[in-house]
């Protein structure tokens, strides 16, 4: 990828991270923000070469809130002869509204705890999935260019049609969030004596409702923009759940087992992080819930240079014991397991697929 | 609690753990199992004083699979003049089928990674919630005795009517499990090109579907025994989800926000482990996904004698960065946070309620 000139519109977390990453590769980055002070901060932070709009930009990244992307992208197309892409989390309505062969929709699956410029980081997209949504109308040059720019930021590009993207994120992100909130609401209703009765809620319920603890502020926009796909995914879920209800009511043991086995196989094959599940192994370590145990286990992993790709504590009861689940590279699992045995733990290792 | 004589029927994980715990307090424990070899193993393991049935037992624990509890409990009632209790995960049908004032239903919310005798542990119930389900017909002496025996094992006793127990576990355990499997099945169907497209599934989806990876073998029994409560909870869920669908379809932003805020408040108040949420604090530490970071943070916590009640890694993307979420006692949070700052981390601390 030969560095050239780029525009960034919207200098929040994603826009500023794109600016930092491109400048690090030698690009000349011009940027703007609805809030001019924020664009100046991005300049001071090193995310931009200058504030403004570059008519000679080869590519413009629109990194504004989802509801304004289409209008901003149209202005960008009018102001340059280069290609334009965006980073919004809904694609169908945006791609349809922009309607230009020089525009290609995009959605980097990356974020940060720190919002805005504070979280900006040239490495934000390293290893992240970045969806691009070319259509039949998209200029092949637009796709090729944006794809190589995005790849140069370290992202893995996945190309999907816009509506397919929206249906999929509805299914794996938006609807699960609404389901978590609904389950939590029902449980709270069902347990008027809340504090004592919800103690029956075991780890699975905690896992399933964790996302419901998040700030709800972004959801009205998401549900508005992706309404069609969300309603359609909710309809599929309602149909499937009614099917599950029928299986339970009929006492259809074989049918139930078949459904659960299918889900189990799919869950086990769910790709995890940057590695593929077949390259990973889960090490389960029964532990006491006391200071020092986590440190001992993770220090040991560090000493052995075993990278912990994922980790959780599964409480086997409301009590003081649990199981530490460590997901590590399959090649490292046996080394970690036997070192843990040497320290008196009783770990077991299981391939993830 | 003055130690006396007890029977244990079924010497698997729970039964053997009860035997170990009671014997540790000086009880004389007689036990049996459908599989006589297993009872002999429990004897050899120290979980029993003798194999057989003690007609003078003050209390009998029935720890057999849920589908056989009622019949076994009736036999135990016929064989002794003492009280009888069980440990099955469904209560209404069992309590109704046994129908004796000397029987009180029970359900310890405890388990272990290791199944059977291998997982048996006198400390299994320390800090665990143990539900007892007295009814109007229950002998007050039965409740008082079983309650004090169970408390002496370190469990926190929660008394609820049998049907209420079943409705609640349907809501917080059985139905969430079925929902996780259903969501996973739908996502797998929706993503024929599975491996690449399911990479769009972010951490929330992984959390929500984790339980679907478990062995489905126990579910036909649970769904059969608790059918009424599960079907009723599924009906409530279907109604609530249809309501959510209507809110999304109508673009009712205020309605959506209200639902999500309500769920958020309930989730935040979900009691966690042995501590109450108001006594806990969440410390969020942005970290790089490399060997050593977890060890450094958890070692620090160990050095400061800060107990980590819960812990997870929230991946902010598919990439190599994440946030370490540590749940610690509120009184320790600031000490941990500032020590982390001294080591160059950028943690933030938030009360859990």
- Give pLDDT tens digits for B105-114: 999 987 765 6
The verdict on a CB contact (< 8 Å) between B212 and A263 is: yes
Picking from A135-139, A160-164, A254-258, B186-190, which range would have the lowest pLDDT averaged per residue?
Answer: B186-190
Per-residue pLDDT tens for A148-176? 999 999 988 888 889 888 988 898 889 99
Using a CB-CB cut-off of 8 Å, the residues of chain B touching A205 are 172-173, 176
Do B5-160 and B277-351 come out as alike in CATH topology? no
Q: Cα dihedral sign for B318, B323, B324, B328? A: negative
pLDDT at B194: 44
Higher pLDDT, B175 or B203: B175
Q: In what side-by-side order are the strands of the sheet with B129-133?
A: B50-51, B28-32, B5-9, B59-62, B83-86, B103-108, B129-133, B156-159
A70 pLDDT higher than 50:
yes
| Candidate ranges A208-217, A323-332, B129-138, B200-209; pick with highest mean pLDDT | B129-138
Determine contact, residues A1/A27, Cβ cutoff 8 Å: no
> β-strands B280-288, B321-329: how paired?
antiparallel
Q: What is the ipTM of this complex?
A: 0.70
Q: Where are the domains of chain B?
A: 5-160, 164-268, 277-351
| Largest separation between any pair of C-alpha atoms in chain A | 68
Q: How confident is the model at residue B140 (pLDDT cuts 50, 70, 90)?
A: confident
Q: Cα dihedral sign for A326, A107, A208, B258? A: positive
The verdict on a CB contact (< 8 Å) between B180 and A348 is: no
Q: How confident is the model at residue B221 (pLDDT cuts 50, 70, 90)?
A: confident
pLDDT at A54: 97
CATH 3.40.50.720 given to domain B5-160? yes
A289 pLDDT higher than 70:
no
A288 pLDDT higher than 80:
no
Which CATH number is correct for A277-351, 3.30.70.260, 3.40.50.970, 3.40.50.360, 3.40.50.1000? 3.30.70.260
Question: Which residues 319-338 of A have a C-beta within 8 angstroms of B?
Answer: 319-321, 323
Q: How confident is the model at residue A291 (pLDDT cuts 50, 70, 90)?
A: low
- A10 half-sphere exposure, CB direction, 13 A CA radius: 22
Using a CB-CB cut-off of 8 Å, the residues of chain B touching A245 are 231, 234-235, 238
Q: How confident is the model at residue A318 (pLDDT cuts 50, 70, 90)?
A: very low
Which CATH number is correct for B164-268, 1.10.3660.10, 3.20.20.70, 3.40.50.720, 1.20.120.80? 1.10.3660.10
- Residue in chain B closest to A327 (alpha carbons) equals B313
Picking from A170-174, B96-100, B229-233, which range would have the lowest pLDDT averaged per residue?
Answer: A170-174
pLDDT at B272: 54
A313 pLDDT higher than 90:
no
A292 pLDDT higher than 50:
yes
Residues B309 and B233: their CA atoms lie apart, in Å, by 30
Q: Which of A296, A307, A320 lies nearest to residue B290, judging by beta carbons? A: A307
pLDDT at B296: 74
pLDDT at A317: 44
Per-residue pLDDT tens for A263-286? 988 887 776 544 456 677 888 888
Query: Alpha carbon of B282 to those of A204, B324, B332: distances in Å?
Result: 20, 10, 11
């Amino acid at each position: 990828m030969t560095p050239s000139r780029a525009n960034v519109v919207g200098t929040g977390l994603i826009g500023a991270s794109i600016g930092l990453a491109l400048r690090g590769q030698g690009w000349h980055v011009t940027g703007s923000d609805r809030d001019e002070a924020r664009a100046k901060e991005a300049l001071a932070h090193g995310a931009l070469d200058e504030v403004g709009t570059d008519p000679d930009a080869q590519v413009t990244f629109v990194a504004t809130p989802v509801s304004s992307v289409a209008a901003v992208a149209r202005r960008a197309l009018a102001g340059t002869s280069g290609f334009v892409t965006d980073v919004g989390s809904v694609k169908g309505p945006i791609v349809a509204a922009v309607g230009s062969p020089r525009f290609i929709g995009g959605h980097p699956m990356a974020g940060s705890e720190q919002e805005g410029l504070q979280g900006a980081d040239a490495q934000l997209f390293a290893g992240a999935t970045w969806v691009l949504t070319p259509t039949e109308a998209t200029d092949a040059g637009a796709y090729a260019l944006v794809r190589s720019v995005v790849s140069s930021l370290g992202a893995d590009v996945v190309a999907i049609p816009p509506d397919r993207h929206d249906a999929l994120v509805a299914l794996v992100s938006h609807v699960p969030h609404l389901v978590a909130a609904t389950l939590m609401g029902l449980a709270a209703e069902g347990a008027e004596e809340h504090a004592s009765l919800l103690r029956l809620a075991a780890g699975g319920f905690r896992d399933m409702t964790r996302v419901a603890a998040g700030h709800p502020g972004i959801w009205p926009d998401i549900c508005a923009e992706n309404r069609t796909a969300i309603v359609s995914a909710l309809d599929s879920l309602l149909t499937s759940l009614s099917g599950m209800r029928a299986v339970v009511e009929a006492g259809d043991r074989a049918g139930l087992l078949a459904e659960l086995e299918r889900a189990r196989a799919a869950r086990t094959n769910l790709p995890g992080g940057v590695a593929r599940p077949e390259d990973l192994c889960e090490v389960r370590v029964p532990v006491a819930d006391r200071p020092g145990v986590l440190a001992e286990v993770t220090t040991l992993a560090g000493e052995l240079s075993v990278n912990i790709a994922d980790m959780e504590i599964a409480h086997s009861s409301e009590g003081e014991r649990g199981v530490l689940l460590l997901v590590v590279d399959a090649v490292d699992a046996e080394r970690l397991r036997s070192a843990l045995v040497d320290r008196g733990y009783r770990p077991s290792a299981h391939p993830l697929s």
